[in-house]
A and B are shown apart, each in its own frame.
Chain A
Amino acid sequence: MIALRKLNLWKRLRHHLNIWAVLSLISIIIIIVPSLLIAIEFFAEPNHNWTHIKEYLLQEYIYNSIVLLLFTALATIVIGVSLAWLVTMYKFPLRNILKWGLILPLAIPPYIGAYTYHGIFNYTGIVQVNLRNTFEITVNQSYFNIMTIPGAIFIFTIFLYPYVYTITRSFYQFQSSSLIENARLLGSNSIETFFRIGLPISRVAIVGSVTLVVLEVLNDYGVASYFGIQTFSTAIFRTWYGMQDIDSALKLAGALMLIVILILILEKFLRGRKRYSFSSTKVRPIQPQQLKGWKAFLVFFYCFGVFVIACIIPILQLLQWAYITYEKIYSNEFINLIYQSILVASIASSIIVLGSLVIANYTRLYRGALTKIISRVTTLGYSIPGAAIAIAVITVFLAIDRYLTSISDILSVDPIFVFRTSLVMLIVAYIIRFLAIGYNSIESGFEKVGNTFTEASRMLGYSTVKTFFKIDIPLVRGAIFSGFILVFVDILKELPLTLFLQPFNFATLATQAFKYANDEMVHEAALASLLIIFISGISIYFFHRILDKEPR
């Protein structure tokens, strides 16, 4: 019966195969071009610089990158999962604020966090100044030095753990209530419940979210270069710009891509074959237990402590810096900066969400080799170093411009549109880079809803397109909105692509903050940084609201 229904459905869907397939393919081609460029270069003959890199540097790059990845992954899992569990399972003081406050550090780009924390702890920072001037204590500088590998792990952990926290928490809240409540009824104590039920069942969520963290760390340039830690990303720039050797740089980029692809395969493997769809249309959230006495205090102390370190302290420091430099820095230009930042981020996010919807819907309805490839390729962009994307994008658009110019020359008219000086270039680059984020959110949205509603709708006579608008979109609207916000926040923080592809007289809050920080004017960078955090913070609040209300 089921097989027959599927066969029938399949036949009818075939008619529409082309529209969805073509749209998906177009999006995919945009992403594949730069990846191919890098892949080809990876297998090219090595030159003399490559020998130098191998002899003096490669070992250190690999070692540093692995140490950073491993410990950041572990620390984000410990903090992210424990917070998610505590916030879901228990009631304690300030829980309702912390529930979404703990997502907020996602609004602080790690490079801004890095220079803020360095500013707090260095010789002229608030901590040492007070020790020195108020208490007359001279300290050993090496205790206050955070520009080390452990320091970088600290920075990455406190600003990236929200990925793990958010995704795991939404899983606990909506997916696992029956399992957890049964465990409670059967007399497990809370620690047992966590290790025997909570941890195993949330494997998919944890692995998926840690993968995001790992990819962020791997692609980071800001923190590593500011702290003087040699990683793959910093090495790519050093080879490219310093040695003027684009071939070796692309080789390094290729190696980085290979690592990312391995991680993604590992992720699929660790996730296993488990799929969780709703078993009914009613999803009941878990009921938290009231904590009392020292237990309540301990849990509160831990959660609030993380919140203070990852959010309150850096923001207070930035506020103080903004206060002392406000007069010098503020101008009407800032309004324009805010406008431009929000504008490009919104446009790119909207396109990404639309594209993700089309691709996710296509890959889910037509399972096969092609769709599998398509769904994997969307994540490729996330694995390519920003600079490589930038070069690939600019190369393609220059070719298009050249073509357009030659046409308009023949017709002897002025070119209608010049891509290379427009925002189109930048937005396309954003799409390549962040499609993975939007797609993952929407894909998991579809995955949770399952195909049964769609199949029912098709059975009852709606076309695929009509089903898409009437049934599918409303069902996954939470995933759509949260995908949009995640991408939006990421673009607001984005740096390398924006710096490289910006048109004339264009700047975003991120590039503004970077410019000052890069010129060693950290205090002057505070205002732009705060605005990024503020705007992202508002978006994240909305994200939390959706997450809390929608069964995801």
Chain B
Amino acid sequence: MKKSLKVMALTMLTASLLVTGCGKTTTTQTPPVEESKSAGVVNLYTSRHYESDRQLYDAFTEQTGIVVNVVEGKGDELLERLKTEADQTEADLFLTADAGNMHVASEAGLFQPVNNDVIFANIPDKYRADNNEWFGIAKRARVIVYAKDRVNPADLSTYEALTEPQWKGKVVARTSTNMYNMSLLASFIEVKGEQASLDWAKGLVANFARDPKGNDRDQAKAIVAGEADVTIMNTYYIGAMLNSKDTEEVKVAESVGIFFPNQDTTGTHVNISGIGVTKHAKNVENATKFIEFLSSEQAQQQFASTNHEYPVNPKVEPSDYIKSWGTFKEQNIDLSALGKNQQQAIKLFDQAGWK
């Protein structure tokens, strides 16, 4: 009796395998091919996996009839995949949340320039590559976050000031493997040179309350828990925590303050999410339309309102909530520098002993 049950289970499993197995090749193969005959497609590699982004793709399809096919992965892995695929790639667009990656892709000859007046009008020079190979579509600021109950914001001034003795044992940070930290140090290398950047990294390491670990949200929690007084993190995550379903996370976000550093000197570090059309794209026209759409007021509004990011289109205001943090002066650098100095930044982190 039991034996026959087992045999039955086995056969059922194999049968279902065979059935699904045969169905597979046809179902997964057809969509791109089928669609290309109708309104067309655009194939996107992206490292941004937000629900709000997906809503934007749907909105784009509704407006233009162009279907957006997506591969979601990690930025650096997608970059590596693009490099490997070279002229054989099916991707038309590469979108990632770091200007460094955009520059590296551009250097590797993976992009083609896009000269489109609509996009130029929507995105200021500052947020796009000189050669027009990539375009910023949303911004994030990496700021000082402090414990409201212990730190007087008047005591805060610059990233550099955090290396002073008064902050000894009062700073926490995430690891140097994190892209946001790499880009931060890369921007410093651009602004004040290698030696000063190394000194800064060493000085901050000397003030660490604990070894670097966790993600951006964990840094805010460490502050509220009293492990340290200040940290460096993206504004974006404070916004996300305030809207968390977990009431304790909301409390954490409410207990910390945001401080825009270097206002009297070099400006606060800003990074962008960027997008570029691949060199061997098969749907260049659709890809261009897609960038037009992402930079349009409608899409920019969405980045600002649902994802707590700063819009790049000057016609769109940040959300009221983001505006409540105040306006600030940004670092005035060519964002390509974040990619150009990336390798050097990693080496400086290692030399400074920033894990």
Question: Contact residues of A with B, CB < 8 Å?
Answer: 49, 52, 56-57, 118, 122-124, 128-129, 138, 141-142, 145, 147-148, 225, 227-228, 230, 234, 237-238, 240-245, 324-325, 328, 342-343, 346-347, 350, 387, 391, 394-395, 398, 401-402, 417-418, 420-423, 477, 481, 499-500, 502-507, 511, 515-516, 518-521, 523, 542, 545-546, 549
Q: Is B175 an interface residue (CB 8 A)?
A: yes
B81–A500 CB distance below 8 A:
yes
Does the CB pair B248–A124 fall under 8 Å?
yes
Q: Which residues of A contact B216 (CB under 8 A)?
A: 520
Query: Beyond A244-B343, A346-B20, A395-B84: 12 further Cβ-contacts under 8 Å?
Result: A124-B249, A128-B225, A145-B213, A238-B346, A243-B346, A244-B104, A346-B21, A387-B77, A504-B71, A505-B69, A518-B49, A520-B217
Binary contact track B24-64/A, C-beta < 8 Å → 1, others 0: 11001101100000000001000001110000000000000
Partner of B2, one of A123, A343, A398, A549: A549
Interface residues of B in 191-231 (CB under 8 A from A): 210-218, 221-222, 224-227
Stretch of B131-139, B297-305, B320-328, B347-355 with 4 or more beta carbons under 8 angstroms from chain A: B347-355
A423 close to B28 (CB less than 8 A): yes
Contact of B252 among A124, A225, A324 (CB under 8 A): A124
Contact A503 B76 (CB under 8 A): no
Chain A proximity mask over B1-30: 1 for CB below 8 Å, otherwise 0 = 010001001100010110011001100110
> In the complex, are the beta carbons of B73 and A502 less than 8 A apart?
yes
Q: A141-B222, A147-B214 are known contacts. Are A520 and B177 too (CB-CB below 8 A)?
A: no
Q: How far is the CB of A303 from chain B (nearest CB, A)?
A: 26
Chain A hits for B72, CB < 8 A: 507, 511, 515
- CB within 8 Å of A: which B221-251 residues: 221-222, 224-227, 237, 240, 244-246, 248-249, 251
A-B contact list, 26 entries, CB within 8 Å: A49-B343, A52-B347, A122-B221, A123-B224, A147-B218, A148-B213, A228-B174, A228-B177, A228-B355, A238-B177, A240-B76, A244-B342, A324-B246, A328-B51, A343-B21, A398-B84, A402-B88, A418-B90, A420-B88, A421-B29, A421-B90, A500-B81, A520-B240, A523-B246, A542-B9, A545-B6
How many angstroms from the CA of A542 to the CA of B21 in the assembled complex? 22
User: Which chain B residues lie closer than 8 Å to A325 at the CB level?
Assistant: 245
Q: Are A328 and B31 in contact (CB under 8 A)?
A: no
A394 with B85: CB separation less than 8 A: yes
Q: Which residues of B contact A (CB under 8 A)?
A: 2, 6, 9-10, 14, 16-17, 20-21, 24-25, 28-29, 31-32, 43, 49-51, 69-74, 76-77, 79-81, 84-86, 88, 90, 104, 174-175, 177, 182, 210-218, 221-222, 224-227, 237, 240, 244-246, 248-249, 251-252, 342-343, 346-347, 350-351, 355
Cβ B88 vs Cβ A56 within 8 A: no
**Given contact pairs A123-B225, A324-B245, A347 touches B177 in the complex (Cβ within 8 A):** no
The answer, among A242, A481, A507, A515, for a CB contact under 8 Å with B177, is A242
Q: Is the pair A242, B343 in contact by a Cβ cutoff of 8 Å? A: yes
Main secondary structure of the interface of B (DSSP, over half): helix
**B228: nearest chain-A partner, CB-CB:** A141
Q: In the assembled complex, how far is the CB of residue B109 from the closest CB belonging to chain A, in whole angstroms?
A: 13
- Give the complex CA separation of A324 and B248 in angstroms: 13
Measured in the bound complex, the distance between the Cα atoms of B161 and A539 in whole Å is 56
Cβ B73 vs Cβ A481 within 8 A = no
Which residue of chain A has the shortest Cβ distance to B28 in the bound complex? A423
In-complex Cβ contact of A123 among B81, B211, B252, B355 (8 A): B252
Q: A238-B177, A504-B43, A507-B72 are in contact. Are A394 and B84 (CB under 8 A)?
A: yes
Q: A499-B77, A520-B216 are in contact. Are A504 and B70 (CB under 8 A)?
A: yes
Q: How far is the CA of A147 from the CA of B175 in the complex (A)?
A: 12
Pick the contact of B226 from A56, A138, A240, A505 — CB < 8 Å? A138
Report B-chain residues with C-beta under 8 Å of the C-beta of A421: 29, 32, 90
